[in-house]
A and B are shown apart, each in its own frame.
Chain A
Amino acid sequence: NAGVTQTPKFQVLKTGQSMTLQCAQDMNHNSMYWYRQDPGMGLRLIYYSASEGTTDKGEVPNGYNVSRLNKREFSLRLESAAPSQTSVYFCASSGGGLAGGYTQYFGPGTRLTVL
């Protein structure tokens, strides 16, 4: 039981390049989330998926797209990377509906640098 896995662990991009961050969970959770964490800013929600087939914007969705490929997988895409997207990206999942009363489990994070 791996929990929440993320790939890649590290990535360096040039401005304007695109990439997809992958996330998978093996806990049969309904809800999945993407956050970014910057120094002094805390965790900020980018997008979330309450259940397979649905996605919603979070606090900072601009410049990102997501795909809930199936119940296990939730990917985050940067179409045209910008230096402002340099951050640590965490994927998380939770078992029940959206959050209330259910623990969120986080992946180990992807450290992205955009030059």
Chain B
Amino acid sequence: RKEVEQDPGPFNVPEGATVAFNCTYSNSASQSFFWYRQDCRKEPKLLMSVYSSGNEDGRFTAQLNRASQYISLLIRDSKLSDSATYLCVVTYSGNTPLVFGKGTRLSVIA
């Protein structure tokens, strides 16, 4: 079983739609969680960290479910500019590098 698994998509949604991605991780000792965004042929950039209590940043909401070992990202009122690949990222401890999922591709259509 892969350490971090994501549905590769693509998710094709119309502008204004709400879309959600899930990501599962295999190591129950995982400590920190993030969502990164990667535009086509560009470098990944941090979108948001994921906290145990859940957190929101504008149209984006991230949630963590430790019992089921998954994290989610909800995007409300999708914009064309949200089209990108979203990478789920976990760490196991302060002494191990980040582990990246393969990403979920989102296309927002006018």
Contacts and interface: CB of A to CB of B under 8 A. Distances in A.
B93 interface: yes
A106 B44 contact: yes
B94 A97 contact: yes
A53 interface: no
Contact of A99 (B42, B45, B49, B96): B96
Interface string A28-43: 0000010000001111
B102 A98 contact: no
B100 interface: yes
Chain B: interface secondary structure? loop
Interface string A46-76: 0010100000001000000000000000000
Interface residues of B, number: 22
B96 to A, nearest CB: 6
Given A40-B102, A100-B32, A108 B93 contact: no
B53 interface: no
Given A97-B94, A98-B94, A103 B46 contact: yes
Contacts of B95: 50, 97-98, 100
11 contacts: A43-B87, A48-B97, A90-B43, A90-B44, A98-B97, A99-B91, A99-B96, A100-B95, A104-B46, A104-B98, A108-B43
